[in-house]
Amino acid sequence: MEEETKQKKEKRPRRTFTEEFKKQMVELYNVGKSRAEIVKEYELTASALDRWISRINKTGSSKEKDNLSDLEKELIVLKTEFFFTKKSETFIR
């Protein structure tokens, strides 16, 4: 019984992900793949994916703090919105 409990409590080693990978996961989410599917398929934690989605959609970066000016951040947001608007128009046609 104790052995079974130990197996459940063992944490997997902390993994690191590239900025590109994080942006790809957010892009999958933004084009309609469900959060649950992404988490399961790529063995991510839901909280990590949620954090990436929030930060990347707001600033274009998954980092908590970055060196971008407000104008640069706004440009990234506008480019992202434009990209996904064009992409969604393709699906609607």
- Domains of the chain in sequence order: 16-92 (1.10.10)
Confidence of residue 92 (pLDDT cuts 50, 70, 90): low
**Nearest CA among 41, 40, 46, 53 for reference residue 84:** 53
Helices (H), the chain: 2-9, 19-30, 35-41, 46-59, 70-92
In terms of pLDDT, which residue wins out, 86 or 52?
A: 52
Task: Provide the token pair at 74.
Answer: 């706004």
Cβ contact 27:40 at 8 Å = no
Predicted model pTM: 0.57
Task: Report in angstroms the alpha-carbon separations of 9 from 4, 12, 13, 48.
Answer: 9, 10, 12, 19
pLDDT tens digit string along 22-76? 999 999 998 899 999 999 999 999 999 999 998 888 877 776 666 667 787 788 7
